[in-house]
Chain A
Amino acid sequence: MAEFTLKIRRYSPESGEAPYWESFETELPGHRSVLEGILQVKDREDGSLAIRCSCRAAICGSCGVKVNGKPRLACNTHLEWAQSNAKDGEITVEPMGNMPVIKDLIVDMDAVHWKKIQRITPWLLPDGPPPEREYVVPHESMVDVTQSMACIQCGACVSDCLSMEVDPLFIGPAALAKAYRFVGDPRDGQHEERLRDLAEDPHGIYDCTHCFFCIEACPKGVAPMSQIMRLRRLAGSDYEIEDRNNGHRHEQAFVKNIRKHGLLHEADLLPDSYGGKLHPRTVPELVDSLPSITRALLRRKVTPQNALLHPHKASKEVKRIFDKVEGRPERLEFNLYVSGTEDEPDAPGSEDEQGPNDPGAGDDGQAQQAGSGPQKKRS
């Protein structure tokens, strides 16, 4: 038995009182969970302490909270691990972010998380009448969506999403990862329509700021940001969907830029992302950016010469790589979640694999060993 101090953020909006922190002592073995600590407090000290929980086995996704500032499932976070990561000797427990608090550690999942899940039409939309017997789906196709299917809807990724923090309308990591589950499923007949919808939405796939917080937060190795990038790859490279948010244009401009110069030429990239230097979309953008452009020129950060001319040209070897890879009939993709990592003797750090590598978690990552090597995608 050991003693742990839980410093819990208390808040009851109905009371009219401001939120406050309250510390409680718990006595439990260190391998027991933060959730058990909270339930002991509720049982012995204050029955009004509110937390949502059910399975206690990291599968129902109910007990998402922030432990020491980071989103976690309370049920698979060991007390001793939380203690070792605690500042000032107290384990802090607070409600998840980006969602309104209903009471204490319970957030309103309906108002944010579930609303966003609904937004992406989370059911199959098959083409034509259903087959007489069951649908026959190739094994690789199901393996391909396994990672997004591993989501337990706990909201940890939503809690830490930095895009949602500045743009609450962002569809967000959990819902977009779920969207890949349907876009990647051959039984669904609306792949292009789904992708067009998510690309055209100003708060859709191109609103992700690439901060990796959702990958870090997910207790199940779903890597929502990687699923968002796969949606972009499908929308841009496969379906060539021209969206109003400059997402596809930016990607195309970047790739063209590197193919031509080998190194990024920023002065071309920005106007090309809007459609080219003389495009009507570009002019207002440049005018809007005048305060920055003027100062950059004044300080000689950028000179007219290096803005207009780019001395660096891509070598023929780099161009050949572009031609070879882009000329393949099928795009190759290699997902470590699916393939796992080979154990080779010369490998420094060969135990690493994408997904949680988390000493505090009672449940480990869900890496599936379902065939190795790269997967072929349409091109």
Chain B
Amino acid sequence: MKVAYWPGCVSRGFTPELHGSMAKIAPLLDIELVELDRAACCGAGVIAEHNQELADTLNARTFALAQQTDGTMMMNICSTCQGSQTECQERLDANAEYRELINDNLADEGLSYQRGLENKNFLWLLVEEIGLDALREKVSQPLENLRVGPFYGCYIVRPTDRLNIDEAQPRDTYLHQLIDALGGTVIDYAGAYRCCGFPIITMNKAASLKQAGRHIGDAIDAEADCLVTPCPLCHLNLDLQQPLAEREVGRKLGLPILHLPQLVGLALGLEPSELGMARHVVKPTSVIDWSTSVIAGAA
């Protein structure tokens, strides 16, 4: 399938391994990525906090660019982009007068957003468009004996009504379902739906790092080998800041944090090094050991 692809900023900035691993696995899943290289940052909630019209205009522009491609839908690889963009889209879709006003800001560029664009995180696309049964058939290295804790990130699970999460569409269980479909063991721990603390890292560093440290500690106590997240901002607080989080919660951590495409890539037969795991601040030793043992077992 062909999608208008919005990688976000951080996947091309401080977590380049996310963008890289998505590019690696897309052909294996028959996803053609048409990258929206002219689009700007979603604002991550901060631009909306500064000026709502500005955030709505920047995202309407991204949606309009996506509608110009011949992809069937737009795909993102960042929980925060998903949440921020859905919030803007909710306002744009709710009122024709407001939509016209925002589209007027785009008129100079000849762009216009028409309501009805579907924007799905890679996680949603995997479950809803590709389907877990089809994915299972593509798995060449089931994640047997790999104990994975799901870490969703706030923006992709709340508010449930805005994100269309309900019994018919239980998007807040997809990460659990996916780990299972890839053959891994889902770890039940307290942090799966909680905040990584990233949004307040510059405002209240201690509280921010305490959040990250607690969730990682809980996952370690539940004997997780790693966490997986669809959010690169969560990855920054959980991986990049993990040495500082250790200091804040006063215990040794060292838990590898994987991006969603990296976990999928492992099950599709790619090696940790091909998926950019050497770039993580916390060396994913448990995952590398798992991968080595699987390859040795197969040989």
A is bound by B: yes
- B-chain residues with CB within 8 Å of residue A167 when the two chains form the complex: 204, 206-207
Please judge, given known A-B contacts A263-B40, A320-B108, whether A342 and B96 are in contact too, CB under 8 Å. yes
In the complex, which residue of chain A has the Cβ closest to the Cβ of B282?
A295
Please judge, given known A-B contacts A251-B50, A255-B50, A321-B105, whether A266 and B14 are in contact too, CB under 8 Å. yes
For chain B residues 228-255, which have a beta carbon within 8 Å of chain A? 240-244, 247
How far apart sit A139 and B45, CA to CA, in the bound complex (Å)? Answer: 29
How far apart sit A291 and B232, CA to CA, in the bound complex (Å)? Answer: 20
In the complex, which residue of chain A has the Cβ closest to the Cβ of B13?
A266
- B-chain residues with CB within 8 Å of residue A289 when the two chains form the complex: 244
* Contact across chains for B94 and A353 when beta carbons are under 8 A apart: yes
A157 to chain B, nearest CB (A): 12
For chain A residues 262-295, which have a beta carbon within 8 Å of chain B? 262-266, 270, 273-274, 288-289, 291-292, 295
B202: contacting residue among A213, A273, A301, A336, CB under 8 A:
A273
- B-chain residues with CB within 8 Å of residue A27 when the two chains form the complex: none
- A-chain residues with CB within 8 Å of residue B220 when the two chains form the complex: none
Of A208, A254, A262, A264, chain B has the most CB atoms within 10 Å of the CB of A264
Stretch of B22-30, B139-147, B154-162 at the chain-chain interface = B154-162
Q: Could you mark each residue 341-379 of chain A with 1 if its beta carbon is under 8 Å from any beta carbon of chain B, else 0?
A: 110101111101111110000000000000011100000
- B-chain residues with CB within 8 Å of residue A210 when the two chains form the complex: 45, 154, 195, 199-200
- B-chain residues with CB within 8 Å of residue A326 when the two chains form the complex: 51, 54
* Contact across chains for A262 and B41 when beta carbons are under 8 A apart: yes
Please judge, given known A-B contacts A295-B243, A317-B109, whether A322 and B54 are in contact too, CB under 8 Å. yes
A263: contacting residue among B41, B45, B195, CB under 8 A:
B41
A182 to chain B, nearest CB (A): 20
Please judge, given known A-B contacts A216-B160, A263-B41, whether A332 and B204 are in contact too, CB under 8 Å. no
A213: contacting residue among B158, B199, B208, CB under 8 A:
B158
* Contact across chains for B40 and A314 when beta carbons are under 8 A apart: yes
* Contact across chains for A339 and B95 when beta carbons are under 8 A apart: yes
B134 within 8 A of A: no
* Contact across chains for B101 and A209 when beta carbons are under 8 A apart: no
B173 within 8 A of A: no
How far apart sit A292 and B154, CA to CA, in the bound complex (Å)? Answer: 24
* Contact across chains for B158 and A212 when beta carbons are under 8 A apart: yes
Of A167, A209, A306, chain B has the most CB atoms within 10 Å of the CB of A209
A206 within 8 A of B: yes
B51 to chain A, nearest CB (A): 6
Q: Could you mark each residue 147-186 of chain B with 1 if its beta carbon is under 8 Å from any beta carbon of chain A, else 0?
A: 0000000110011111010000000000000000000000
* Contact across chains for A255 and B47 when beta carbons are under 8 A apart: yes
A125 within 8 A of B: no
B49 within 8 A of A: yes
Main secondary structure of the interface of B (DSSP, over half): helix
- B-chain residues with CB within 8 Å of residue A212 when the two chains form the complex: 83, 154-155, 158-159
A301: contacting residue among B208, B240, B244, CB under 8 A:
B240
Q: How many residues of B contact A (CB 8 A)?
A: 75
A9 within 8 A of B: no
A325 within 8 A of B: yes
- B-chain residues with CB within 8 Å of residue A355 when the two chains form the complex: 161
A306 to chain B, nearest CB (A): 8
How far apart sit A374 and B95, CA to CA, in the bound complex (Å)? Answer: 9
Stretch of B124-132, B256-264, B273-281, B287-295 at the chain-chain interface = B273-281
* Contact across chains for A352 and B164 when beta carbons are under 8 A apart: yes
A contact residues vs B (CB 8 Å cutoff):
162-163, 166-167, 170, 202-203, 206-213, 215-216, 229, 232-233, 236-237, 245-247, 250-252, 254-255, 258, 262-266, 270, 273-274, 288-289, 291-292, 295-296, 299-302, 306, 314-315, 317-318, 320-322, 324-326, 328, 331-334, 336, 339-342, 344, 346-350, 352-357, 372-374
B contact residues vs A (CB 8 Å cutoff):
9-10, 12-17, 38, 40-41, 43-54, 56-58, 61, 83, 90-91, 93-98, 101, 105-106, 108-109, 115-116, 154-155, 158-162, 164, 194-195, 197, 199-200, 202-204, 206-208, 210-211, 214, 240-244, 247, 278-281
Closest A-B pairs by Cβ, 6 of them: A212-B158, A264-B9, A357-B161, A291-B243, A211-B195, A210-B199
Show 10 A/B contacts (Cβ-Cβ < 8 Å), sorted by A.
Answer: A213-B154, A247-B203, A254-B47, A255-B51, A296-B240, A302-B14, A325-B51, A325-B54, A336-B90, A349-B164
